[in-house]
Amino acid sequence: MGMQWRYVKNAAASISIRSSLILVNLLAFTILIVLYIKSRPILVSQPLTHLLFSSLWRPLKGQFGFLPYIVGTIEVTAIAMILSIPMCLLSAIYLSEYAHKRFRELVRFAIDILAGIPSVIYGLCGVIVVVPFIHHLGRFVGSLTTGYCLLSGGIILALMVAPVIISVTMEVLATVPRQARESSLALGTTKWEMVRHVVLKSSLHGIIAAIVLGFARAFGETIAVLMVIGNVAKIPMSFFDPAYPLPALIANNYGEMMSIPLYDSALLFASLVLLFLVGAFSMGAHMTLSRLMKKGFYGK
């Protein structure tokens, strides 16, 4: 009887886990299908190449060119990645490998608080601090700007994803066995050599996952970015030009001007494009990881 009950519990747990997995995938598939159905009117009326590669955004004339929004989304995310990835990795390495335990716990507490701050608070700090700083920086380098520009959006986005990447990276680094560290040091390596050749190499998979997780969130961040990026529908030619990413376009316009033909469909098509961008970014990260593994860079 006892053995049969164990089999029943095991089967129930297995079914629950599979059901949860199916439900999560079904939810993602449903979102994709709904967005496609809602986007279909504009996809039928206008060529996909025109939607993706045209810069003309005149809803009253039925012209919906998403190129400035797509470029703005990619560029602000790229700036945030360039700013945040080195800062986050170095911070996580220092806290995990070099910092005193009491200091580490204190900083982790602060990072947890930063991770929980609402997006609008980051946006307000951006308006009060970052925008004036970029305005003066632009004047210093000879580029006129109001401060509401691509660089301000990238800085705010980098600050927002940093707590996520640092926390997850620290958890990943903590999974490396102490014996591996001690064995490396016993062979005469310096601490940095141990970190570089043992800790980072063993944690590469998890570190890339932390970065992907952070920037999957970054693609969808809306309020803070739209408060500082300028929201001008043109392709930015420098860091000090305003931009208009896709999430800001959707947040600013959905629910308004729905009387304009195809406007509703155009905004849902923007959501579909954003979903594909996030998917492409995640797939690119996993392909990079797979290539590293094939080259033997990642420890098996």
pTM of the model: 0.83
User: Tens digit of pLDDT per residue, the chain (300 long)?
Assistant: 667 788 888 888 888 888 888 888 898 889 889 989 988 888 888 888 888 998 888 888 888 889 999 999 889 988 998 999 899 999 999 999 899 989 998 998 898 888 888 888 998 999 999 999 999 998 888 888 888 999 999 999 999 989 888 988 898 888 888 888 888 888 888 888 888 888 888 888 788 888 887 777 777 777 788 889 888 888 888 889 999 888 888 888 877 666 777 888 888 888 889 888 888 877 777 777 677 666 655 544
What pLDDT is recorded for position 63?
Answer: 85
* Cα maximum dimension of the chain: 82
Spatial distance between the Cα atoms of 57 and 62, rounded to a whole number of angstroms: 8
Summarised one tens digit per residue, pLDDT across range 126-138 is: 999 999 999 999 8
Is the CB of residue 133 less than 8 Å from the CB of residue 159?
no
Summarised one tens digit per residue, pLDDT across range 138-196 is: 888 888 888 899 999 999 999 998 988 898 889 888 888 888 888 888 888 888 888 88
Spatial distance between the Cα atoms of 139 and 104, rounded to a whole number of angstroms: 39
39, containing H or E segment: helix 2-45
* Percent of the chain at pLDDT exceeding 90: 17
- Give the residue among 218, 229, 216, 235 at the shortest CA–CA distance from 66: 235
93, containing H or E segment: helix 67-93
